[in-house]
Amino acid sequence: MLRISDLELFLRSSALGSFTAAAHEAGLLPGQVAAAIKRLERELDVRLFARTTRSLRLTAEGELYLPTAHSVLETLRQGRDSLHASQSTLRGILQVSAPSDLGRNLVMPWLVEFRRQHPQLNLRCFLSDQMADLYRDPVDVAIRYGGDERANYIALPLAPRNRRVLVASPAYLARRGRPQHPDDLHQHDCLLYQQNERAFDRWQLGEHSVQVSGPLFCDDADVVRRWALAGEGIAFKSWLDVSANVAAGELELLLPDFPGDLRPVTLVCPHRKQLSPAVSRLHLWLRERFEQLLPATGDQAAHSF
């Protein structure tokens, strides 16, 4: 059976390039570290280090196993932190930023319910379609669409399977007809909103990238959803933004065989040290609620996911 302490010594020996240095750091003898690595190698039935009297380096198998060891220990750490968080009272102030539409219609009611369960926690909420600067704006965490693997912040998944979908009201479809192919959108009123400081007017549907236009534009994405409900045109919105309207029959999904691009939702914060018990608990709380809104394979919106 693998020992957690052996995994930890494997990681430190790899990072420091020496059993002696890893032993000194852990308050052990070099022979104890060497014995731990041998145990681990026996369990895995591979050689993890190439050792000489002058050097210590990972073998190809050791390089391959290193990310797994990191992942296992990180998962265990998060589990431990979650247990400690569940036993503590959440206090202080938590400042949360969210996109206007998603925040106003979904996240805010959930945050109110979350705070009721933790009455000693104060929440400050900021809604805007302008992306919050985690290092300058007065926010601790931000709920965001999409993700940037190159970004220097911590991103925790909330709704990784979320996609954009095409929707329109029954009244609009009765008046203008239903598009059968992405190219048909050129003959329709497409409702536009601002993204990355410009009009979001190129829509990705399956392998088709369509340049669209329409008579209405707003810098608030929630207004576009409301225009769609009022029968003013076709909107290309996150499923999470329109799922309740689709379920109520107020909006209909269009072109299900041409799925929209992924719009994963994440909870981000500037640094791992800022993953406080309040942030960890909020992440789990929101993730459960987002997951309930994402369709499972086989139901109405499955073709869009």
Q: How is the chain split into domains, by residue range?
A: 4-86, 92-161+264-304, 164-254
pLDDT at 134 over 90: no
Kindly report, residue by residue over 251-303, the tens digit of the pLDDT. 999 999 999 999 999 999 877 766 788 898 999 999 999 988 887 543 444 44
Kindly report, residue by residue over 142-186, the tens digit of the pLDDT. 998 876 554 567 888 999 999 999 999 999 999 999 999 999 999
Confidence of residue 130 (pLDDT cuts 50, 70, 90): confident
| Residue 211: strand, helix, or coil | strand
Fold of 4-86: Arc Repressor Mutant, subunit A (1.10.10)
- The answer to whether 39 touches 63, Cβ cutoff 8 Å, is no
- pLDDT of the residue at 184: 97
Q: What is the CATH number of domain 164-254?
A: 3.40.190.10
Could you give the percent of the chain with pLDDT greater than 90? 55
CA distances to 21, 36, 110, 282, 293 from 288, rounded to whole Å, are 43, 39, 11, 10, 9
| Residue 103: strand, helix, or coil | helix
Which of 267, 291, 270, 292 has the alpha carbon at shortest distance from 280?
267
For every residue of 78-103, DSSP letters joined together read HHHHHHHHHTS---EEEEEEE-HHHI
- The answer to whether 220 touches 250, Cβ cutoff 8 Å, is no
For residues 128-145, average pLDDT = 79
Structure tokens at 184: 């048909």
| pTM tops 0.85, yes or no | no
The domains spanning 4-86 and 92-161+264-304 adopt the same CATH topology: no
- pLDDT of the residue at 299: 42
Kindly report, residue by residue over 42-76, the tens digit of the pLDDT. 999 999 999 877 788 999 999 999 989 988 888 88
Computed over every residue of the chain, the mean pLDDT equals 87
Fold of 92-161+264-304: D-Maltodextrin-Binding Protein; domain 2 (3.40.190)
Kindly report, residue by residue over 87-113, the tens digit of the pLDDT. 568 888 899 999 888 998 899 999 999
Give Rg (Cα) of the chain.
25
